[in-house]
Every structure is written in structure tokens, then in C-alpha cells.
Structure 1
């Protein structure tokens, strides 16, 4: 069975990363909101502070000659992926209501009972009036945000979009390593000029029903679905020279790993890496925002899979000829 594969493409004009220093524990303080943002941001949830700081870095990275905010406000959009941006705040709200009642809740934190207000604050900060989306699919929400942003740009709903992921440690993350920080891209429509230091992003989303993997036929269909997505990404760009899979231990993760191994064996990429998924959707976007690839040398392929059946595939490629 062949299922239609939708590849979304966009051009990165700027990128911003806000991440804790290597070795920082989840309970350690590492972000100074006054130094990074100034006054007036104290009561925002940490993930919202990270996101706003990443946006400032991404906009600065895009350069004054191609100011993303020169576009009319109604042609600016935002798409943010998260799994746990306000998980700790929600846990604190639950505990306060249980112990002291709703009257004890802080009016500064109550509005963030709705996770979409994190991205909403980003839109308010930069007058992003075209559209504002928050996606929360397990593990893949960050890449899904890039995918949806590219589709909206291609449809003409915006001239520029800020898209990426933001997370704060989830108190219910169990044995998964918690995430904190934000990664954000300034995106323009695919097919346009790629600035110096920019790159082309291409993304595909898939879904595998976990119960289907109990049967051989279901595993075959899952493998074929992933390989079709990989072939579609490869058809529009160079072969990957860096490949990474981030998947939690699950039948879905195993099925995606098997499909990716067999696909890579046929194409011999330079390096492959298999990593456990962290407790959030930030890591895949961070991987795509990592050091720029040398022009024309290939692309970085990042694949993410969750036990719930969500799968996201993305490539980042720096073309040989940039404007």
C-alpha cells in the first residue's frame, strides 16, 4: 500500500538556541531572565522566557538587511511545539488547589493553564498576527511545528514565521531525561534564496498505530511507510551524511529503527547515531539548528519516534550557492 507523502520545505534565515550549559542539573538555576530579556518578564513561565530569548537571538541572526519584522504583522506567523512547557506550573496549580483552594492561586500564573499562551506571548512580543499555533504531539511536536510552518508559508498565509520548540522540566517525566530551553527558526517559504549561513529544511510526518505492530503485516506496513518518507526527503535534496534517530524504547521506536537501518545500509551515510528520546520535543529541533553544515556536502537527517505512534523526519541542508 502506498500512502501519499507530504514533504514541507522552508528556508531558515535565522536560528536561536537557549539551552542550559552542559552538565546542568534539572533543578539548577541557569537562566537569568533580566539579563536576557530585561524587566517585565519575571512572572512568565520559564519555558516562555526561554522562547522569547531564543526569538530575539533568531531575529538578530537573520541580519538587519533582511529584517523578518519588516513584513506586515498580518504576514507574520508563529508555530511552537512543546510537551512540557507548563507541566511544572500545572502540577503546582493542582497541588495549590488541593491543599489551599483556588483562591490561593497566583493571578500571574493562572493564565498559563492554557499551554498555547506560551506561543501567544511570543506573538504579542513581535506582533505576529498572521496565525499562532501550538502543537503538543509526543516527542515530535518541535519538528511538527516546523512542518506546519512550512505548509502555511507555502500556502501564502505568511511571508515569515517563527517556528520551533520550547520545554521546561516535566515533574512527571519518569525515567526520561527532562528537557529545558528553546530552539527557534526564522522561516521563509521554500524555493526562495538561501542566505549565507542559512539552510533548507524539509520535513515529513508519519503515524504508526502501535497495536498494528503486533502483527507481521503491520510491521511491514510501518517499515514501508518510513522508507517512503525517507525516499521522499532524499528525492528533493542531497544524500544525508549525518543521520540520527531519537526514539523512546517501544515497538514503534524499534520499527522505525529497523526501517532506518535498512534504508541507511543501502545509501551508506557518513555517520549514524541512535539516541534515546528525552522527555519533550526540543532535542530534534536543537539537532537541526546545530552547527551549519558545510555548503554542498550533504544534509543532516533527524528522525524522531514516540511510543504513541508519532514519527517525524527532517533534513537540514546548506546549499552550495547561497545569496
Structure 2
């Protein structure tokens, strides 16, 4: 693990390829010591035989070992630690000397209706997606709640960033089993954000936010479509747009981020002022199709502040 004296430490879970790899690399460029975590690793003999290096970032050859090596070769600080997010004891082995940022990008996917989603697939998605996130948050919270010298946000901005979608009904269609877990992750973002607000830690720099792509991103998951139809690449963006949005979430005030479910393009537009997204297109000159709604529902109700009698089972 990075030294406790390191200025800033970020843990990226699900960082072996695609979006997670890009986030880890860009956090290192921002001065973070990065803990690169996922299941896949590369042995030293295998690493020596890899050609070219770095490997295709969306291929099985891209692992936490290769990502950490990419970072260190570029002058950054990185540590690769294997983790199985279906196993809480594995998550508990991610011991922290200090933690400023947790990015949870680990995910299992099975797109299909309930009738064609086997129980084993459903269980795997819940364990990797929502249970893995919950375990990671439980372990990280004590370290993230450690304050800076004066307890002001400027001393130490701490963030939990979850790759999860905004909540709206169309998302459930045709992939209900997958949506159960992903929206469960979004509920955690909303609920923990409310806890943070009530505890008064947002003013001290701690926040949780969700982030999701507005346009499909080049990855191992979308690669199955481009292999069948190469023209599909015209509807893809590079993972750098998502990583740029993550950095923007880190730099934004905690109150702006906390409990919010953001889309990468929309957050960059409103928070950073980006208007030209052409550099993110996988195919130069193309205009990738937006897959997310332009307007999303407001989840609040008129009785939002009327909680009735709140109960805490841990104190009953």
C-alpha cells in the first residue's frame, strides 16, 4: 500500500481495463497514489513476454499488474492488489493506511429478460454490483471520515464515486435482473448521501456521487458489438470522457456532488463548461448516439423532509 505520508490516495476497484484503467491512469497523473484493484493479474514472466506494452486496454491481457506498471513507467505511484468483490473477506484485505478517493467500477453484466436470466447469473450480478459496493463502502468509510487539520473541505476533499445509472423506468426494460443490482447501487448513493448531509460531513469535504455514461463507451462489453458490426464504433466514445468527468467530480464542491446521479457529458457541460465533445469520439468526425434521456425524473416528493419516527436497528 502507498505510504501514509503520500499526499493523496485513491482506490479504484475494477481497474484492470476499459473505464477503470483510464480512471486509474488519470488519477495518477493528478498526483494520486493509486491502488489498482480487480481479479485479474499478470505474473512477472508473463509481463516480460507481453508485446506490445501496454496491451490492448480492452483485452484480457490488460490486468491490474499491467495498469500499475503503466502508471509507474510514466512516473506515477501505483500498487496492484487483487480483490474478489463477491467475497467480503477479500474486500477486507484492502487495508488502508490512508484513503481519499474510492471509485467502484467493478461490475457483472447479463442483458436479457427475467425469463432468460439464470439464477446463477442473477446472483453473480448482485454479489459483484451491489454487495461488492456495499462491502467496499463499509470498509472505506472509517478512513474517508478522517478529517484534515482544520476540518474544512479545502484541507482534504474525499469522495466515493460509483459507476451506476440515474433511476428511471426505461432502464429496467429488457435487462431487469441487471437493473436490480445497478439501481441498487444508485439507491446506495442517494441514501448514503442523505446520511452524509445529516451527519454534517459534507461541509468537511466528504461526498458520494454516482456517474454513468450518456453515450456508450469503448470497452470489453461494447467490443462484442463492434466485432459483429464495425460500424457500431461510430456510436462509441473513448473512456477519457468518463475519466474527465470523474476528475471533475473530485474537484467540484462536495455539496454539488453529494447524493447526485450524474451523466458524464452533462456534468462536464454544466460544471466545467465543455461544449465540444468531438475529441472523445472513437471514430473521428462521427456523432455518437446518446443512449440516456436528456431529462430525468425528480425522485423527491412533497413530504421529503417528513421522516416520521426514524429507527436505528443497531441501537434497538
Q: Which structure features the higher share of helix residues?
A: 2
Q: Which structure features the higher share of strand residues?
A: 1
TM-score, with structure 1 as normaliser: 0.31
TM-score, with structure 2 as normaliser: 0.32
Higher relative contact order (CA 8 A, sep 6+): 1
